[in-house]
Amino acid sequence: MDLALLRTFVTVHRAGSFTRAAALLGLSQPAVTSQIRTLERQLGRPLFLRQARGVTPTTIGDELAHKAAPHLDALVEIAETGLDEDSSIRTLHLAGPPEFTAERALPALTELTGDDGQGFALRASFGNAEETLEGLAAGHHDLAITTARPRGALLTATPLCDEEHVLVAAPRWAACVGPGKLRRKGAYALENFPVVEVHESLPLVARYWASVFDSRPAAAGTVVVPDLRAVLACATAGAGIAVLPRYLCAAALERGDVVALLDPAVPPLRTYFLVVRTGTLAMPHIARAHEWLLRAAVDWS
């Protein structure tokens, strides 16, 4: 069986579309379509069902992808690494949200980058859950951390840890509303407060409001910055109230830079998942990083 055909097939399987696969491979869409048809003729079975938007793998297509993909990934890595004296050093490509990856995952994984004979080089990239999972499926990453559990059998997700969310504000804002007032009036007590968030849709505030107050936030974002560390800095400076992961604002809370406005009996939680392409945990460097992060996460929750 032609390895080039298998590579094209795996790329289509991961991308879910001939068009996206063609872009990833640097080929024309007709060339990708032709290669898939050739492989289907060789196997005597259809590998994909054509849909209005993209393609869906058949049962045979899924089985072939799960058997072939890990081996193709290994061959690609050998080709990229070369066979020189440093070929034993593998590179782990990690992707995830910038704050959690920087504050949690990277400090833990850097312990595995030493020259003990089992170490690896580490490359990290940041993105939202959708971007990260697409990159993982396309083979751009080896290991991903996301707040979304992927569907389908191509990717395998393992719960990593839960993240507690805290409603915080600078002391001058906290003085305007106390826990008693919040318990009595709920979200209405915060209607006129400015809000600091990572997106115009107020994802963290909306989640907190729905969980704690059983309502939707009435205010729009006063300051919107696409990084939770910047949200913390703005909240500390008095720009408004914010919902932040406890791990990220714990030191600021301890110093009194910000104050927790409420301590609900059941705080809102968000789960992080550790995701790999199915079958790639057979690769020692990916398996070691995966296990190491799971162990480290025991102390994160």
Residue 77: per-residue pLDDT: 62
* CA separation, residue 68 to residues 5, 41, 65, 134, 190 (Å): 11, 18, 5, 19, 55
Residue 84: per-residue pLDDT: 46
Nearest to 124 by CA among 137, 143, 138, 108: 143
Residue 111: per-residue pLDDT: 85
Assign 3-state DSSP to the chain and report helix, strand, coil percentages, each to 5.
50, 20, 30
Is this prediction's pTM over 0.85? no
Residue 79: per-residue pLDDT: 60
Residue 295: per-residue pLDDT: 94
Residue 81: per-residue pLDDT: 55
CA distance 142 to 277: 7
For each of the chain's 301 residues, which pLDDT tens digit applies?
678 899 899 888 888 889 888 887 888 999 999 999 999 999 999 999 988 778 999 999 989 988 888 788 777 666 655 544 454 578 899 999 999 999 999 999 988 886 554 678 899 999 999 999 989 988 889 999 999 998 877 788 999 999 999 999 999 988 887 666 776 777 787 888 999 999 999 999 999 999 999 998 887 778 999 999 999 999 999 999 999 999 999 999 999 999 999 989 899 999 999 999 887 887 888 999 999 999 999 998 6
Can you say how many angstroms the Cα of residue 294 is from the centroid of all Cα atoms in its chain?
15
For the chain, list the strands marked E by DSSP.
48-50, 55-57, 90-96, 120-126, 143-146, 155-169, 196-197, 223-224, 242-245, 259-260, 269-277
**Three-state DSSP state, 173:** helix
Residue 94: per-residue pLDDT: 97
Residue 21: per-residue pLDDT: 85
CA distance 142 to 248: 26
52: phi then psi, degrees, rounded to nearest 5: -60, -40
> Residue for token digits 């949690």?
104
Q: Half-sphere exposure (CA, 13 Å, Cβ side) for 237?
A: 9
